[in-house]
Chain A
């Protein structure tokens, strides 16, 4: 007999939501012709693969250096403003990558103010001076890294905070200096957390379309869209998407393996390590170093947006703009609540039953984050419309009562797509919370006569509240930034801030796009600030 079968079935049902679009992709793939592959292999496929790998390696290295470096500085040292940097370093999380890409392009492009100033003031012509090309693979790595490093920073920071004073005592006993201690003790212990962070970064990087295509980089994901849009080949696009997914599964498997080895984690709480006070040049250096990511990931792009937005502030007065704000907040908050609820059910089912089935369910749910939003949109669109049409024709013939499209073209369809993509994020947070509760606590509660549901409600929920809040906020911010699925699935006369910003920006009206972009950032700011307070309290 299955243990806790009702919980297992719940987990399975939730996972099938994510499985549905995957199944659709597989179904589409079967009808693809091989002619396309010959063409792709002959021409662009190598370029797609190389660009995507380059992008991943570049972003991984940069986010690791920036994320770990800044986390280490703010947790191990005391310098002026360290409390501010603690949370401010999370701010870039509120910036959608494509919007940061727009701002930097406006600023650094050949026709932008920086290069124009160089030409005008130095009396140079284009070609007389060297200037990095922002719209390039390097530019994409730069922008994605400074938008995504907070994932690594967040994970590394909490791990460094948890590392207790006695680890440092051990390091001293061994005669390690600070650098050796960091390399041999702090970093290895933080590794699982850091890898979890960087895997989120890489999934986002692989799935990104907005920033990467804007920079003219032919990545695998831009290739998927090119195949669909320009060759009109949905089936071929589905095959490419499945290949991408296969690659992610391998990556995730590697990540899981590395997490398993983390069993030596020191859970006994002792005194947290006392930060070292910095002074003089070292203090200046530390402040400079932690300012850089904040400057590059947040302040510079935001200033550019603000500059554009001031010229277009009249939009603020329009009723239409506030409808956009309302729609966006409604979608983001609804999705966040549902996502956390479902993620909690999945994680807890697995905790209860420890079965292979729930493990698979959990892993399937974790996949969604790596699928490009547009691919998810198609994967949701096709089965939902099929379902609606089947119900409609059955109702027509048997009850003479046409039901039309029940779910397709409604906000429900949109939220389903968001869930497919962002349940993984919610699950990550819930799991990290649940892991900190020892299983013998469940046993104790059960022996006192609580049902599994009551254990969850009365014992777990109060303890993992911070993790749940973290998940809520990250999903909220992610939904606010989401563009491709929204663009495809939304109902009539329904727009979000991201859609408006994109429509204007893709028409090269960057300055008109600034205000909605800034609104996304502002609305994302509040959750990010809350998030940092929660994670500080939790530590």
Chain B
């Protein structure tokens, strides 16, 4: 018993004392499996070791705030602009002056004060099966048309991408009109919101609905894994349409990162973000998770290419963060579960 305890204590101590000279500490809301290939590429290019904690963005932010001046975190990486904005409001980011970043990343995908930078673009278009013949859908606004009753599958209002979609609509159409739209949309739900984006695609393929709103990388990853026959066949039944091409453009979000004010390894932190915006990493984002690069001129994955080019909403993404709480309360009022 005693021996075991000593052994355990020794293990804990040794785990705490691993010190490497060149390192960078990353708090990531992107899952480990998705970050690993990017981080490995960074380490092999620069020799800088990346220490990672992956968790929910808000939990990580709370952790950074309470660890305060002694926080080991150098970089906070989130999967949406809303959370980046929240971190900015919490005052944990520090501005980064980097020509590399400013040249690589279009201005609507980064913070106006250079506190955070978008690193990959996530588009949320409308997807249809062959059964969606009721009306021609060209805009998000069309989803509230009563002719689409019991046709729409979309996940819960707890999902940040839906909140961002509503936040962008508040910006484009105003709050009252967006609320009316959300109520119309909810009235057209084929089922109570459940599951993730892939589940919506699966449900549509199974015939529960014909119209889906989902992020493209979920569909692309289903299409890429031909070994998973069921998912592959489901995804093959789905057509992507790019909404609002005549107007504001298709809703997009970014995953992105910022350097923390208290970062103990500030230089390495900047190097990491610069690497993530580099050609190598931008290509990897597409290969690992089928996202769109933020940087122009990067070759797209063939699956993404097949869906054609689209006009993205040019709304500065900070607005998504600013409108987030309003968006969620609006969705509550519209009884979007």
Contact = CB atoms under 8 A, between A and B. Distances in A.
Interface of A: 39, 42-44, 105, 109-111, 115-116, 119, 125-127, 133, 135-136, 213, 215-216, 218, 222, 226, 228-232, 234, 330, 334, 337, 374, 377-378, 381-382, 385-386, 388-389, 392, 404-405, 408-412, 487-488, 490-495, 500, 503-504, 506-508, 511-512
A181 B168 CA distance: 67
B239 interface: no
Contact of A218 (B5, B33, B337): B337
A461 to B, nearest CB: 13
Interface string B219-254: 000000000101000100000000000000000000
Contacts of A405: 67, 70-72
Contacts of A215: 194
Contacts of B59: 374, 377-378, 487-488
Contact of B70 (A234, A378, A388, A507): A388
Interface in B185-233: 191-199, 202-203, 205-208, 218, 228, 230
B72 A228 contact: no
B324 A109 contact: no
A408 B55 contact: no
A229 B67 contact: no
Given A110-B202, A408-B67, A508-B199, A330 B228 contact: no
Given A216-B195, A507-B31, A507-B33, A111 B51 contact: no
Interface stretch (B11-19, B111-119, B279-287, B305-313): B11-19
A410 B16 contact: yes
Given A135-B194, A488-B55, A488-B63, A126 B207 contact: yes
A109 B202 contact: yes
B229 to A, nearest CB: 11
B53 interface: yes
A492 B67 contact: no
A304 B289 CA distance: 26
22 contacts: A109-B195, A111-B199, A119-B206, A127-B207, A229-B58, A230-B163, A231-B325, A234-B62, A337-B5, A385-B67, A389-B67, A389-B69, A392-B69, A409-B67, A410-B12, A410-B16, A487-B55, A492-B52, A492-B72, A504-B33, A506-B196, A507-B31
Given A216-B156, A389-B69, A228 B12 contact: no
A226 B196 CA distance: 16
B331 to A, nearest CB: 9
B102 interface: no
A493 B208 CA distance: 41
B44 interface: no
B52 A334 contact: no
A222 B158 CA distance: 10
Interface in B27-75: 31-34, 51-59, 62-63, 66-72
A232 B205 contact: no
Nearest to B49: A493
Interface string B15-27: 1100000000100
A378 B55 CA distance: 13
Given A44-B332, A216-B156, A381-B66, A229 B51 contact: no
Contact of B25 (A230, A492, A503): A492
A215 B196 CA distance: 11
A389 B68 contact: yes
Interface residues of B, number: 62
Contact of A389 (B70, B206, B329, B335): B70
Contacts of A374: 59
Contacts of A508: 195-199, 218
Contacts of A126: 206-208
A492 B324 contact: no
B234 A216 contact: no
- Sorted nearest first, the 4 A-B pairs with minimum C-beta distance are A111-B202, A126-B207, A216-B194, A492-B51
B63 to A, nearest CB: 6
A42 B202 CA distance: 34
Interface of B: 5, 8, 11-12, 15-16, 25, 31-34, 51-59, 62-63, 66-72, 86, 156-158, 160, 163, 191-199, 202-203, 205-208, 218, 228, 230, 234, 324-325, 328-329, 332-333, 335, 337
A125 B208 CA distance: 9
A230 B158 contact: yes
Contacts of B196: 506-508
Contact of A404 (B8, B15, B70, B228): B70
B72 A409 contact: yes
B74 to A, nearest CB: 11
Contacts of A111: 199, 202-203, 205-206, 230, 234
A334 B56 contact: no
Contacts of A504: 31, 33
B14 to A, nearest CB: 11
B323 to A, nearest CB: 12
A433 to B, nearest CB: 20
A382 B328 contact: no
A409 B52 CA distance: 12
B68 A381 contact: no
Contact of A491 (B53, B54, B206): B53
B203 A386 contact: no
A412 B206 CA distance: 48
Contact of A385 (B12, B66, B208, B324): B66
Contacts of B86: 232
A228 B33 contact: no
B284 to A, nearest CB: 17
Nearest to A377: B59
Nearest to A223: B158
A390 to B, nearest CB: 10
B332 A216 contact: no
Contacts of B63: 381, 385, 488
Contact of A228 (B58, B202, B203): B58
A393 B31 CA distance: 34
Contacts of A381: 62-63, 66
B137 to A, nearest CB: 20
A231 B328 contact: yes
Nearest to A404: B70
Nearest to B72: A409
Given A109-B199, A231-B325, A504-B33, A125 B207 contact: yes
B53 A492 contact: yes
Contacts of A119: 206-207
Given A216-B193, A230-B157, A508-B195, 4 more contacts: A111-B206, A385-B68, A405-B67, A410-B12
Contacts of A127: 207-208
A515 to B, nearest CB: 13
